[in-house]
Amino acid sequence: MRVAFLVAPEGVEQVELTEPWQAVVDAGGEPELISTRSGRVQAFKHLDKADSFTVDRTVAGSSAEDYDGLVLPGGVANPDALRMDEKAVAFVGRFFEIAKPVAAICHAPWTLVEADVVRGRTLTSWPSLQTDIRNAGGTWVDEEVEVCRAAPATLITSRKPADLKAFCSTFIPEFGN
């Protein structure tokens, strides 16, 4: 199982990157860190700088066809930056076009809204995104984890870091299918 983790150069919530990453590794998978720029990405713990991580590939040099699934970690600044990058948005959209599963947590659904892939889907997120999701044609629910199997691609979403255990234990089997 090869899994893309898409993050902006700065602003990803560290635990929302590292725990799903470790879950992929523990499942025998190969995670790859993809960003809009090469080098390193700066993670955060809420509003404080945390660790930095080496980028494996840029989004411009990546293809959704090369992966079994996509994980979109949150953090407030991370998805806000990604949704402003046309190549990142197209990369996300491509997973839906070719029916590969996507998992998004916390604020990450902002990128899904920008990719215009929430219409007709049920998902959860950090509560402040519920109006954005509804305005984009989605149905927002306040659940620990939500799995939406609307065609063409499965979407797994969670609200916050406290939901990570449920998020990881749900997306790993979906990505393995």
Active-site hit among 46, 106, 148, 168: 106
Active-site hit among 46, 107, 148, 168: 107
Residue 177: per-residue pLDDT: 76
4-46 pLDDT tens trace? 999 999 999 999 999 999 999 999 999 999 999 999 999 999 9
pTM exceeds 0.95, yes or no = yes
Pick the closest to residue 142 from 124, 168, 115 (CA basis): 124
E strands present in 22-115: 30-35, 40-45, 48-54, 57-58, 69-72, 102-105
Range of the domain at 126: 2-176
**Beta-carbon count within 10 A of 103 CB:** 27
Number of domains observed in the structure of the chain: 1
Is 106 in the active site? yes
Please say whether the beta carbons of 71 and 5 come within 8 A.
Answer: yes
Is 107 in the active site? yes
* CATH code at position 38: 3.40.50.880
Residue 67: per-residue pLDDT: 98
Which residues of the chain register pLDDT less than 70? none
The CA distance from 9 to 105, in Å, is 18
Residue 26: per-residue pLDDT: 98
Q: Which one-letter DSSP state was computed for residue 66?
A: G
Q: Which one-letter DSSP state was computed for residue 64?
A: G
